[in-house]
Amino acid sequence: MKRFSLLGAVAISAAALLFAVGADAKGPPTGKCSSAKIKCATTKATALLSCHNKAESKNLPLDPACISKAETKFSSPADLKGCMQKAEKDLVKSPCSTTNDADSLEAKVDAFVLDVVQELDPGYPDPVMNKCSAGKKKCVANKVKAILGCYGKSASAGTAVDPACIQKAQDKFDGGTDPTKGCFAKLELKPPCLTNEDTDALEAKVDAFSLDVYSELVSHLDFTLRAAGGACGSVKDLSSTVLKTLTCGGLNIGNGAGIVPEGPTPDGSTSRFTLSCPAPAGVCTLGPTATAGPGFDCTDTGCRFGTPLEIPNPLAPTLTTCVLNTWSQPGSGTVDTTDGSSVTKVPLSSAVYLTGNLGQPCPRCRSGGVPVHGSPSSPATGTCDRGARAGLACTSQNSVGLTNDCLTGGQDATHPCTPGGSAPCIDGAFASAIGVNLNPLTTGESTNVTAAGLFCSGQGVAGCFGQAGCRTITETGSPAGPVTPGVPADATLAAAQFCIMATGLGTVDAVAGLPGPGALSLPGTFVASP
């Protein structure tokens, strides 16, 4: 017999070993919330399977009232009495690593239960009476309860999943060393059954579902941007002579005629990814988180990528811009826990606003008339100094007060302005939204080479970043080293193989050298935790 459950146990134990914060008997701050949400998923999955079991045992259609009861108990946003709402009731005393994820978790539960039912009842949704199939649903429900119970204990305590707990659930379901004693096998001794010899298939579904729930609620990796400084790259000509050194944390854009100087990427923002790890040490898969939370940004479509990005232009001050970056597709990638090497796909939509404010291209959070100086460990508060939210409260983790609480543009505090719109922007003028695909963003070396100096489709002027002789662009990242649970590990992510398309505004494109290549390095810090 294939040991699907053992594979699942290895995966989950690995994730717990990697992302457990420590041996504190009280568990990490977010662990109790994660454990509560795991229990919510367990309760709904087993309740739905019980509804199907009862219907099949009596040859009746599925009872809508039974389904509705399970749904209401899981999530009830109207009165905040649902299981998921209760888990997030007090985010100060019991913070959650993810928030507002009732819908996404419920979708996982519903899809899993439907998959199980369709596997065991080929004729579903037609009513059928089959005690064997009904019994198999109970077997599945019992294993779900047992496996997620093991994971919930791990999340609450902040420790590795207990292998003995996993093994016990596995053996009860599939019989362990004696397959004839498995839950399905016992039922199949008393035919007729609608399906036979499907222990492995259903066990695989349970394991995949459990890992999916655990990964969404427990395992995540944060990447927090540090301040710019030092050298991370270079621009060379055909003879390999260095024409320009590229700064760590610097953004460079444009062709050989562009006059926009290198600018620093804002420090302090944190992007959160989910993680799925197949072994105690090795390559883990990065996935998107759907909702932002206190101190971190999500990484799904529409989520913010960093704070507003300032691009001052001393040679053409009126064309100084403030750029708002959002994810145009879900983030994805990998990180190797043995050496901290990482490759990430970062597809962005960059909304460009002409603010013409050379001294301060984007609105900032101020207190006492001066920009606040925040950090991830010590966020600063104040009020927005201009823009659609001028005078409203803001919090910044950035050293000069940049924050997504204080955005440029806007017709009002909640509505963006658009080109040709009936209402003008409150701050700046909307120029264009352009796609920027940072793929790959790597801890290794990223190099872009062209003999003709034309790096991008439609590029009309050879060279890069104001250097007409540019033929090679190189950005060099650095891996974090072994990723240890709860311990910050510095890394640098680099990208030199992306292009920036034209905005459609002739003056802006000419000054910025668009379309043209881009180069970026992001010094930051990885922190893995449940």
Measured CA to CA, the distance from residue 80 to residue 82 in angstroms comes to 6
Q: Is the pLDDT of residue 268 over 90?
A: yes
How far is 137 from 55, CA to CA, in rounded Å?
Answer: 11
Contact between 308 and 350 (Cβ < 8 Å):
no
pLDDT tier for residue 73 given thresholds of 50, 70 and 90: very high
Q: 158-173 pLDDT, tens per residue?
A: 666 678 898 999 999 9
Per the CB < 8 A criterion, the answer to whether 422 and 395 are in contact is no
Give yes or no for a contact between 16 and 486, defined as CB atoms under 8 angstroms apart: no
Task: Provide the residue ranges of all domains of the chain, joining segments of one domain with +.
Answer: 4-218, 221-362+408-529
Per residue in 408-445, pLDDT (tens digit) is: 988 887 777 766 555 688 998 888 888 899 989 999 99
Report residue 279's pLDDT band, with 50, 70 and 90 as the boundaries: low
Q: Is 517 helix (H, G, I), strand (E, B) or coil?
A: strand
Task: Inform me whether the pLDDT recorded for 265 exceeds 90.
Answer: yes
pLDDT at 485: 63
Question: Which one, of 247, 222, 225, lies nearest residue 234 by Cα?
Answer: 247
The torsion of the CA quartet 287, 496, 404, 259, rounded to 10 degrees, works out to -170
At residue 271, does pLDDT exceed 90?
A: yes
Mean pLDDT computed over every residue of the chain: 87
Tokens of 19: 């992302």
Secondary-structure percent of the chain, ordered helix, strand, coil, rounded to 5? 30, 25, 45
> What is the number of other CB atoms lying within 10 angstroms of the CB of residue 244?
17
20 confidence band (pLDDT: 50, 70, 90) = very low
**pLDDT for position 159:** 61
Looking at residue 158, its pLDDT comes to: 61
The number of C-alpha atoms within 13 Å of 467 and in the hemisphere containing its C-beta is: 26
Query: Which tokens go with 338?
Result: 């043995």
Exposed, middle or buried by CB within 10 Å (0-12, 13-18, 19+), for 487?
middle
Residues 126, 129, 120, 165, CA torsion sign: positive
Q: Say whether pLDDT at 216 is over 70.
A: yes
Tracing tokens 């621009």 back to the chain, one arrives at: 235
Contact 289, 274 (CB under 8 A): yes
Output b/e per residue, 509-522; b: 16+ Cβ within 10 A. Answer: bbbbbbbbbbbbbb
Task: Calculate the CA 529 to chain-centre distance.
Answer: 14
Is the pTM for the entire model greater than 0.75? no
Q: How many CB atoms lie within 10 A of CB 238?
A: 11
Judged against a pLDDT cut of 70, whether residue 18 lies above it is answered with: no
Distance (Å, rounded) from C-alpha 507 to C-alpha 516? 15
Give me the amino acid identity at 478.
S
